Amino acid sequence: MKVLVTGGAGYIGSVAVEMLLDEGHEVVVADNLERGHRSAVDQRAQLEVGDLRDRDFITGLMRRLKPDAVMHFAAYALVGESMEHPERYFENNVGGGINLVNAMLEAGVSRIIFSSTCYTYGLPREVTIPEGADTLPVNPYGESKLMLEKILQWYEKIHGLRPLMLRYFNAAGATESLGEDHHPETHLIPNVLRVPAGKAEYVRVFGDDYDTPDGTCIRDYIHVVDLVRAHVLALEKDLTGPLNLGTGEGYSVMQVIETARKVTGHPIPVRMAPRRPGDPPRLVARADRARAELDWKPVHSDLETIIRDAWRWFQAHPEGYAE
């Protein structure tokens, strides 16, 4: 298939580009390179540098390409930033998303696989969250993703769009060549690994007074390779609606740090810090739909493998993509 990958220079998008190419698909990447890296884009892909907020850029590209499917990764994705700058999230994630889907409609492209998030759920009541749970986001990041999900669903009803919304839990880990390199880095596992890498003296733990067994937040960490595999499987199926991608297992911030100590052999000192605004205490997936309908199951996602792969990438790329 010919696949247009937005955000293909970013962390998850770049892994998707590589896997799609390895599976024999033709890939065109649209990325503004604001937060992604040119050198993360596989040489076999065609890179179109442009911004989804620029309607003419995406309309023209879509008209020229008429891809069989779009994988839409391009977005801002930081909870903390979204609590300080919600305007960026609505403008880029919602505004850019509207330009993208309107360009699809105009070009007669109907299949879209959208990177959504477990942050659409807000403060879930369930221990493991099914797709049918209430969606009441507690940060603008989650809200911006939910808004685009709703737009996609209206376009499905009215225009026959075929949107699959993949609600990611916490993507982590790396492939041999591709890993996580954000500036500034805000994610837990790369920040933890900065300590054994000699780039930080300690890791900050944002809140230890949550209603969880050790008081720190619980998340469902999923290996980026497993996550991306689900997208490739989804290309062959015609599923729509929301679909969770997580393992069903939750780990606390302190458990992640403990596992990183074991993997790296470094003591990794911690300092307690205030809660991060917008953080729900616990987000863990119920991934029944992915297993049953996509025939997907995570195979690289035990926490130790995730951290070991991330650590290997960090050691091989001490300066990240160094651009």
| 205 contributes a contact to ligand UDP by CB under 6 A | yes
Judged by CB under 6 A, does residue 217 bind ligand UDP?
yes
CA-to-CA dists, residue 16 to 4, 94, 150, 256, 312, angstroms: 11, 22, 24, 25, 20
CB closest to ligand UDP, residue no:
217
Segment near ligand UDP (CB under 6 A); pick from 62-70, 102-110, 200-208, 230-238: 200-208
Count the Cβ atoms, other than its own, within 10 Å of residue 105: 15
Answer yes or no: 321 catalytic.
no
| 180 closest CA partner among 27, 29, 36, 33 | 36
**Residue 133 contacts ligand UDP per CB under 6 A:** no
Using the contact rule CB under 6 A, the part of the chain among 14-22, 46-54, 148-156, 201-209 near ligand UDP is: 201-209
**Does 186 help bind ligand UDP (rule: CB under 6 A)?**
yes
Question: Collapsing DSSP states into helix, strand and coil, what is residue 305?
Answer: helix
Q: Which is nearer to ligand UDP, 156 or 249 (CB)?
A: 249
Q: State both tokens at 292.
A: 């049953």
Check binding of 204 to ligand UDP (CB under 6 A).
yes
Q: Of the listed pieces 53-61, 98-106, 186-194, 292-300, which binds ligand UDP according to CB under 6 A?
A: 186-194
DSSP for 125-179 reads SSSSB-TTS----SSHHHHHHHHHHHHHHHHHHHH--EEEEEEE-EEE---SS--
- 138 counts as binding ligand UDP under rule CB under 6 A: no
Indicate whether 203 belongs to the interface with ligand UDP (CB under 6 A).
yes
Closest separation in Å from C-beta 131 to ligand UDP: 19
| Three-state secondary structure call for residue 195 | coil
Catalytic residue among 89, 119, 141, 168: 141
Euclidean distance between CA atoms 68 and 3, whole angstroms: 6
CA 31 – CA 10 distance, rounded (Å): 8
| Residue 206 sits in the site that holds ligand UDP (CB under 6 A) | yes
Give the closest residue to 167 by CA, choosing from 137, 211, 190: 137
Q: Which is nearer to ligand UDP, 80 or 130 (CB)?
A: 80
Chain residues 257-276 in contact with ligand UDP, contact rule CB under 6 A: 276
| Residues 46-85 close enough to bind ligand UDP by CB under 6 A | 79
In whole angstroms, what is the distance from residue 12 CA to residue 180 CA? 8
| Cβ proximity to ligand UDP, 206 vs 321, nearer residue | 206
- Residues counted in the chain: 323
The answer to the question of residue 161 lying near ligand UDP (CB under 6 A) is: no
Distance CA 11, CA 15 (A): 7
Site membership for ligand UDP, residue 219 (CB under 6 A): yes
Kindly list the residues in this chain that would bind ligand UDP in the complex (CB under 6 A): 79, 170, 186-188, 191, 203-206, 217, 219, 253, 276, 279
* Positions marked catalytic: 141
